[in-house]
Amino acid sequence: MAAEGAPMKILIVDDAPDIREILEIVLAGDGWDVSTAESLTQGGAQLDQATPQLILLDFQLPDGDGVTAAKQWKTRPELATVPIVLYTGNDSHAVADPALAGVIVKTIDPFELSQRLRSFL
C-alpha cells in the first residue's frame, strides 16, 4: 500500500497506444502514478525496476497472453501480493484464475475505472 497521501502506483500493459494514453490521462487525473508498457517484455522489464501496487494487464498482447504472464509474474516474491487485473475487450476472456485479482471488460466507462481498480487493493 502507498504511504498516506502518496499516489498509488499502477502499471498498465496494453499494446494499443490510444488505450494506454486514455488510461494514463484518466488515472493520472485521479491521482494514480501511472507507468505503461506496450508488451509483456516491456512490462516485465519495468517490473524489474519497480513494484507497482496494481497491474492492469491486457489479455492479448503481441508477445503472449495476459493470463499466462500473470501466472509467471505471481511467482516473483515481490509481486505475490500485487493485484493483477486482466483488462480485455472480449468478455468471453473473463476467466477465473488464481493469478488474477479480477477481470475488467474494456467497455467500462474510463471514469469508473479508477474506482473499480481501487476495489482490488
The CATH number of 9-118 is 3.40.50.2300
Q: Enter the pTM of the model.
A: 0.92
What DSSP string describes 8-39? PEEEEE-S-HHHHHHHHHHHHHTT-EEEEESS
Q: Rounded to the nearest 5 degrees, what angle is found at the Cα of 44, between the Cα atoms of 43 and 49?
A: 95
How confident is the model over 74-81, as a mean pLDDT? Answer: 96
Candidates 38, 63, 35; CA nearest to 47 is: 35
Tens of pLDDT, residues 8-65: 999 999 999 999 999 999 999 999 999 999 999 999 999 999 999 999 999 999 999 9
Q: Give the max Cα distance, the chain.
A: 38
Tens of pLDDT, residues 106-119: 888 887 999 999 99
pLDDT higher for 5 or 56?
Answer: 56
